Amino acid sequence: MFRFFILIFCLAPLFSFYGCEGAVPADLDRAAKVIRFMSEEYKLEKTSFPALYPNCLPSEFVKWVFSEKGKAEWPDSLDNDDSNPDVRNKAFKQGAPIVPRSVQFFAGKTDPNGGRQLIVKANDAARTIIVEGYGDPKKKPDLKREWDLPLVKQVSKFELNKY
């Protein structure tokens, strides 16, 4: 019995780190949560995405999220004042993350001169969105996450006219 507890005590730390990406800077984590929020089914259903891209492919999502129509759907940023209570209250009511001002967002590949950045990629075959966060774009990513993009129902032709 004593050996069992020793074995558990020795192996527990190894399993606690299994599958973890390590310490992730808070701003890169928040940036990834912004894209995750934008790609959730209940959010996408209320946007122009399914009307403009009825196939709802991940590559189409990446194109849309960086388009003018997609950018209009992004959550608020605290560009001017980190303690603006109106922005924080609105985000809290929507369940939305606040876009970190210290991170730039790019589609597909890093910008070597871009500073802290989140790269948004797509894998259409697996129907996944992939994000990579870089504190230094010349090094390996500090964060890498992927998730399935939901297939959002197609909107009616009446709703399509809004966009």
Summarize pLDDT for 88-123 with one digit per residue, the tens: 666 666 666 778 888 999 999 999 998 999 999 999
Q: Is the pLDDT at 79 greater than 60, yes or no?
A: no
As a whole number, mean pLDDT of residues 127-140 equals 96
Asked, for residue 28, whether it belongs to a domain, the answer is yes
Structural domains counted in the chain: 1
Asked, for residue 145, whether it belongs to a domain, the answer is yes
Summarize pLDDT for 48-71 with one digit per residue, the tens: 999 999 999 999 999 999 999 999
State the pLDDT at residue 1. Answer: 55
Asked, for residue 12, whether it belongs to a domain, the answer is no
Q: Print the domain residue range for 150.
A: 22-160
The span from the CA of 90 to the CA of 108, in Å, is: 30
The span from the CA of 127 to the CA of 130, in Å, is: 10
pTM (two decimals) = 0.75
Asked, for residue 16, whether it belongs to a domain, the answer is no
Asked, for residue 31, whether it belongs to a domain, the answer is yes
Asked, for residue 152, whether it belongs to a domain, the answer is yes
Q: How many CA within 13 A on the CB side of residue 125?
A: 0
